[in-house]
């Protein structure tokens, strides 16, 4: 299956300034992410950024990069701008890989892209939760998936709620419980990617602070690829950065 990866990258970061340019074994983080994405078999990998310093860094290492407007409200809007310049077919597949995932699994990118079929304009990924602490952690986003493999709902709450199991105990996972953690990786058909920025913000999205709920609110399906292993964590804090640096050597 042919697909294009676009990686949105902003220089500003509250917890980790200049994060995309953080050094990982002699290369900026954004370059490492692009190199991992290229291993997925993508037809092309492009960084979408609003900052000249990121553009210079990418060009230095031969990474394709497009300079975008600086007023995009989200990474999805940013990649939509770049995708519109590529001359893609309406049913072409575009994958949004976050710019702070230098250890992302290339196979996961490809598997998520493969979920885009006729009638399913958007896809994402999830993995089983094996920690009761994660079940009740609002920073761990959960997803419930229907028989068709499509998302029924995303939430920071503990969904589905195991009525009987949690009545007995909230210290251990019930034996017949299979909650799923959402992975922030998205694939879109090109035509839907251009529709997405025009969709009105939904009440559920505002309540949960989860952008993907806008898609469900407006009636579009989201396919969910379920992987059995948790992906390597991304980089949000200085501590994360030091941990990830251990995987790269000059």
- Count of other CB atoms within 10 angstroms of residue 189: 23
List, for residues 5-62, the tens digit of each pLDDT value.
999 998 876 678 899 999 999 999 999 999 999 999 999 999 999 999 999 999 999 9
* DSSP letter string, 45-110: EEEEES-HHHHHHHHHTT-EEEE--S--SSHHHHHHHHHTTTT--TT-EEEE--TT-TT--HHHHH
Decide if 142 contacts 134 (C-beta within 8 A). no
Pairing of strands 93-96, 180-189: antiparallel
What's the whole-number average pLDDT of the chain?
94
Which pLDDT score is estimated for 73? Answer: 85
Is the pLDDT at 174 greater than 80? The verdict is yes
Which pLDDT score is estimated for 11? Answer: 84
Is the pLDDT at 240 greater than 70? The verdict is yes
Decide if 123 contacts 113 (C-beta within 8 A). yes
Listed in sequence order, the residues at least 6 apart from 192 whose beta carbon sits closer than 8 Å to its beta carbon are: 121, 122, 220
Architecture field, domain 119-183+191-231: Alpha-Beta Complex (3.90)
In the chain, ranges of CATH 3.90.550.10 domains: 1-104+232-249, 119-183+191-231
pLDDT mean over 225-244: 90
Decide if 156 contacts 139 (C-beta within 8 A). yes
Instruction: Report the candidate in 108, 74, 146 with the shortest Cα–Cα distance to residue 5.
Output: 108
List, for residues 115-138, the tens digit of each pLDDT value.
999 999 999 999 999 999 999 999
Give pTM, 2 decimals. Answer: 0.94
Q: In the 8-state DSSP scheme, what is residue 15?
A: S
CATH match of 1-104+232-249 with 3.40.50.300 = no
Tell me the backbone φ, ψ of residue 106, rounded to 5 degrees: -60, -35
List, for residues 71-105, the tens digit of each pLDDT value.
888 889 999 999 999 999 999 999 999 999 999 99
Ramachandran quadrant class, 227 (left: phi over 0; alpha: psi -120 to 50; beta: rest): beta
Angle (CA) 200 69 63, round 5°: 115
Is the pLDDT at 250 greater than 60? The verdict is no
pLDDT mean over 240-249: 88
Distance, C-alpha 13 to centroid of its chain = 17
């Amino acid at each position: 299956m042919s697909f294009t990866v676009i990686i949105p990258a902003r220089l500003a970061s509250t917890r980790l300034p200049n994060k995309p340019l953080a050094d990982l074994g002699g290369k900026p983080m954004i370059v490492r992410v692009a190199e991992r994405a290229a291993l997925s078999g993508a037809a092309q990998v492009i960084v979408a950024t609003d900052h000249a310093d990121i553009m210079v860094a990418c060009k230095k290492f031969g990474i394709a990069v497009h300079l975008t407007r600086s007023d995009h409200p989200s990474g999805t809007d940013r990649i939509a701008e770049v995708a519109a310049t590529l001359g893609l077919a309406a049913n072409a597949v575009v994958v949004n890989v976050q710019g702070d995932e230098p250890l992302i699994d290339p196979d996961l990118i490809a598997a998520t892209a493969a979920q885009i079929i006729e009638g399913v304009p958007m896809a994402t990924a999830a993995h089983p939760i094996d920690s009761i602490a994660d079940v009740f952690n609002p920073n761990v986003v959960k997803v419930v998936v229907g028989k068709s493999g499509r998302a029924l709902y995303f939430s920071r709450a503990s969904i589905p709620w195991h009525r009987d199991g949690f009545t007995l105990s909230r210290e251990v996972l019930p034996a017949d419980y299979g909650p799923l953690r959402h992975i922030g990786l998205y694939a879109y058909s090109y035509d839907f990617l251009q529709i997405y920025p025009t969709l009105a913000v939904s009440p559920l999205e505002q309540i949960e602070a989860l952008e993907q709920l806008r898609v469900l609110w407006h009636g579009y399906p989201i396919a969910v690829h379920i992987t059995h292993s948790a992906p390597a964590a991304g980089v949000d804090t200085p501590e994360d950065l030091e941990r990830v640096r251990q995987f790269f050597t000059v």
